[in-house]
Amino acid sequence: MNLWALLRTALLALARNRLRSLLTALGIIIGVAAVIAMVSIGEGAKAQVEQTFSAMGTNLLVVRSGSSGFGGARGGAGSQPTLSWDDLRAIQTELPSVRYAAPELRTSASVISDEQNWTTRIAGVTADYLHIRNWSIARGHGLPDADQDAGAKVALLGQTVVDKLYGPYVDPIGQSIRIRNVPFEVIGVLASKGQSAFGEDYDDTVLVPVRVFADRLEGGLKAFIAGTIYVGAMPGVSTQRTERDITALLRDRHRIREGREDDFSVRNLEELASARQASTQTLTTLLAAIAAVSLLVGGIGVMNIMLVSVTERTREIGLRMAVGARPADILWQFLIEALVLALVGGVVGVVLGIGIAERLSASFSWPLLIRLDVVLYAVAVSAAVGVVFGLYPARRAAQLDPIEALRYE
Amino acid sequence: MALLELQDLTRTYRMGDADVHALAGVSLAVEAGEFVAVMGASGSGKSTLMNVLGCLDRPDSGRYHLDGTDVAQLTREQLASVRNRTLGFVFQSFNLLPRTRAVENVELPLLYAGVPAAERRRRARRALEQVGLGQRLDHTPSQLSGGQQQRVAIARALVNSPKLILADEPTGNLDTATSIEVMALLQSLGRTGMTVMLVTHEADIAAYAARSIVMRDGRVIADERRQPLLAVPGAVS
């Protein structure tokens, strides 16, 4: 019996019991739809976490003064500046695993334009800082390079600051603002980054060159950095390796003996990000596992109905054997019936699952992520469910004794 | 060589503690083209004989040559192929597939013979015309009378041009007039060269066969040839 004839026989048999076939397929439909929807929820959550962390910067490490260890009476990280400008320069020039290193000094101050004022975060940074933080310029241009015109009194405004000072109708480029009575020229507007993972508004900030910040806004440039060093690792180099390099360099420069703890801390945001991702991954796996259980239940439903169907059609099986069906023909007939049932359920389930994922991603405003491999996997699994759960009933049918089958009432 | 040659066939079933000798040494030869009625009370072994003849069951001992092949030695798969190519079955309860058109029911043996679809349809149509149902190709069993259903079953039995047609109480569920129609059909098959073996317990049905075999306790106790009654449809009201 060829495949087409087998397929036709199976479809006719399923069509003869339309409602029952539909209900059986429903088990598979729900299972597959659940798998697809759950995995896409998990992927959406993961993408959300990824987005949040990539807004902070890629391959990002943060170096601060002060120890990160425990025990003893000490100030917290950054309370006692131990990182010098020379340390920064050494990180920039001596470590091949470091691509960028930039300082960030922060303060809070009132920014005054011609018409308005707004108290915001002022950060003294260098041009590299924008690279490290993945921050692009929406309008105008960025900060001058350190060796060019580091003393220029220029400022970059975050989108929130632009809105507060100028509103939507005034072009801030070229305008003059005053911070602590020092006039700055606005040369650019930062692209909007939205909120951090902790609810901080990234766009509520003003960036100025670090030299000007230290000289004019804080009381002069000192030997130590009263702030943070942001480091961007070289692409292709693991952030762990960069972290080790920086620690080794700084311990050497600060002459910290073996066994004594660091007087600085290096935080690896990549690690933080991957920890968060690992937890969402766990969630995804858990959801998918629960969904897979419902697929299993659907498979048991298929087996149940196939067993009923074999019993109901015992005489038909006997007759088919009498007119020349080999046991293998009967086996295939029922196996293909189960397979068709499961596959149709699988395909409908995929469509339904994508629909649910679409709705959910819209309501959570997550990116819609349908993984093709999951879709193919779900269809393959539903086919496998058909085969696995169809095999036993089909074997029972094939092993029937034709005489008893023909006599069956 | 005869179409059917049976020598000392035995078949024993265990039923509870007792052994039932359904066939206790049956020897028989049937020539091609014969019309044979097998008679006997229930439990006489006639059904077992038909099952063995139909390659649905295998004897415990003895030899069974069908069309020159020793079928007692064949596997389940090989027996299926013999049933498909050499045999045609007609049952008391018709055994048509429900909700399936007559022409598709008749095609069934050809499906397992691997005949291409167009050829299947052509031969099924011809078989249905042969049994006088050329106008009922698309009817399902529930749209047909009992006699018509049995004629569809006969068309199914002969569609593969088998050597031997085995009919197990083919008139058991039919009234007298319809029974005669069916017997006339079987007799006409005999005239085309097919061998027909018929199990019945009704003497007036057996009278349409040219040879009648009587069984009791697993043995053949009578085997006689005679002038058969000619079945004429419509002769009995």
Closest by alpha carbon to A49, among A271, A280, A206? A280
What pLDDT is recorded for position A1?
64
Percent of chain A having pLDDT more than 70?
93
Query: What ipTM goes with this model?
Result: 0.93
A314, A323, A395, best to mutate vs chain B, most B CBs in 10 Å? A323
B77–chain A Cβ distance below 8 A for any pair: yes
B81–chain A Cβ distance below 8 A for any pair: yes
Of B77, B112, B114, the CB nearest to A323: B112
State the Cα torsion A362-A363-A364-A366 to the nearest 10°: 0
Strand partners, A207: A123, A156
Digit-coded pLDDT (tens) for B65-98 = 999 899 888 898 999 999 999 999 999 999 999 8
What pLDDT is recorded for position A73?
47
Residue A192, classed as helix, strand or coil, is coil
B79–chain A Cβ distance below 8 A for any pair: no
Is A326's CB within 8 Å of B76's CB?
Answer: yes
A170–chain B Cβ distance below 8 A for any pair: no
A328–chain B Cβ distance below 8 A for any pair: yes
Closest by alpha carbon to B69, among B161, B164, B155? B164
Digit-coded pLDDT (tens) for B102-126 = 999 999 999 999 899 999 999 999 9
Digit-coded pLDDT (tens) for B158-207 = 999 999 999 999 999 999 999 999 999 999 998 888 999 999 988 999 99
**Does A68 have pLDDT greater than 70?**
no
Contact A65, A78 (CB under 8 A): yes
- The mean of the pLDDT values for chain A is 85
Mean pLDDT (whole number) for A2-9: 83
Strand partners, B225: B211
* Chain position carrying tokens 């960069």: A242
Is B76's CB within 8 Å of A12's CB?
Answer: no
Q: Which residue of A has its CA nearest to B48?
A: A403
Mean pLDDT (whole number) for A282-303: 87
A264/A77 Cα distance (integer angstroms): 7
Alpha-helix residue ranges (DSSP H) falling in A188-268: 210-212, 239-253
Within 8 A of B156 by CB-CB distance, chain A residues are 323
With bands split at pLDDT 50, 70 and 90, how would you rate the model's confidence at A205?
very high
The CA distance from A403 to the nearest CA of chain B, in Å, is 6
With bands split at pLDDT 50, 70 and 90, how would you rate the model's confidence at A147?
low
Contact A183, A153 (CB under 8 A): yes
A207/A116 Cα distance (integer angstroms): 18
- The mean of the pLDDT values for chain B is 92
The CA distance from A22 to the nearest CA of chain B, in Å, is 19
Digit-coded pLDDT (tens) for A305-344 = 999 999 999 999 999 999 999 999 999 999 999 999 999 9
The CA distance from B113 to the nearest CA of chain A, in Å, is 7
Contact B39, B212 (CB under 8 A): yes
B86–chain A Cβ distance below 8 A for any pair: no
* Chain position carrying tokens 């766009």: A203
B116–chain A Cβ distance below 8 A for any pair: no
Strand partners, B19: B14
Closest by alpha carbon to B174, among B195, B139, B197, B144? B144
Within 8 A of A12 by CB-CB distance, chain B residues are 100
Comparison of pLDDT for B122 and A57, the residue scoring more: B122
What pLDDT is recorded for position A198?
66
Is B77's CB within 8 Å of A327's CB?
Answer: yes
B108/A316 Cα distance (integer angstroms): 11
Of B99, B109, B114, the CB nearest to A323: B109
Within 8 A of B51 by CB-CB distance, chain A residues are 403
Within 8 A of A316 by CB-CB distance, chain B residues are 97
A162/B156 Cα distance (integer angstroms): 88
Comparison of pLDDT for B105 and A192, the residue scoring more: B105
Is A403's CB within 8 Å of B100's CB?
Answer: no
Q: Picking from A272-281, A379-388, B18-27, which range would have the lowest pLDDT averaged per residue?
A: A272-281
A349/A169 Cα distance (integer angstroms): 50
Closest by alpha carbon to B154, among B198, B120, B122? B198
- Determine how β-strand B61-66 pairs with β-strand B4-15: antiparallel
With bands split at pLDDT 50, 70 and 90, how would you rate the model's confidence at A222?
confident
Contact A227, A53 (CB under 8 A): no
A26/A344 Cα distance (integer angstroms): 10
Is A322's CB within 8 Å of B89's CB?
Answer: yes
With bands split at pLDDT 50, 70 and 90, how would you rate the model's confidence at A72?
very low
Comparison of pLDDT for A177 and A198, the residue scoring more: A177
Mean pLDDT (whole number) for A37-60: 78
Within 8 A of B84 by CB-CB distance, chain A residues are 323-324
Digit-coded pLDDT (tens) for A241-251 = 898 999 999 99
B109–chain A Cβ distance below 8 A for any pair: yes
> Which two structure tokens, joined as six digits, stand for A161?
């600051």
Within 8 A of A1 by CB-CB distance, chain B residues are 111-112, 114
A222–chain B Cβ distance below 8 A for any pair: no
Q: In angstroms, what is the C-alpha Rg of chain A?
A: 33
Report the range out of A169-183, A276-290, A310-324, A364-378 with the highest average pLDDT. Answer: A310-324
DSSP A84: B
Contact B227, B180 (CB under 8 A): no
Is B109's CB within 8 Å of A324's CB?
Answer: yes
Q: Which amino acid is at B189?
A: L
What pLDDT is recorded for position A249?
92
B72/B69 Cα distance (integer angstroms): 9
Contact A261, A68 (CB under 8 A): no
Contact A38, A26 (CB under 8 A): no
Which pTM value belongs to this model? 0.71
What pLDDT is recorded for position A332?
93
The CA distance from A327 to the nearest CA of chain B, in Å, is 7
Write the DSSP assignment of chain B as a string of letters.
Answer: --SEEEEEEEEEEEETTEEEEEEEEEEEEE-TT-EEEEE--TTSSHHHHHHHHTTSS--SEEEEEETTEEGGG--HHHHHHHHHHHEEEE-TT--PPTTS-HHHHHHHHHHHHT--HHHHHHHHHHHHHHTT-TT-TT--GGGS-HHHHHHHHHHHHHTT--SEEEEESTTTTS-HHHHHHHHHHHHHHHHTT-EEEEE-S-HHHHTTSSEEEEEETTEEEEEEE-PPPPP-TTS--
Is B112's CB within 8 Å of A325's CB?
Answer: yes
Q: In angstroms, what is the C-alpha Rg of chain B?
A: 18
The CA distance from A26 to the nearest CA of chain B, in Å, is 25
> Which two structure tokens, joined as six digits, stand for A158?
């975050």
Of B80, B85, B100, the CB nearest to A321: B80
- How large is the angle between the packed helices A269-312 and A327-364, nearest 10 degrees? 140
With bands split at pLDDT 50, 70 and 90, how would you rate the model's confidence at A139?
confident
A118/A172 Cα distance (integer angstroms): 14
What pLDDT is recorded for position B135?
94
Closest by alpha carbon to B65, among B121, B16, B27? B27
* Cβ pairs A/B, distance under 8 A: 62
Is A324's CB within 8 Å of B112's CB?
Answer: yes
Q: C-alpha distances in angstroms, B197 versus A209, A277, A386, B218, B227?
A: 109, 77, 43, 17, 16
Contact A34, A295 (CB under 8 A): yes
Backbone region of residue B45 per phi and psi (left: phi > 0; alpha: psi in -120 to 50; beta: other values):
left
The CA distance from A349 to the nearest CA of chain B, in Å, is 30
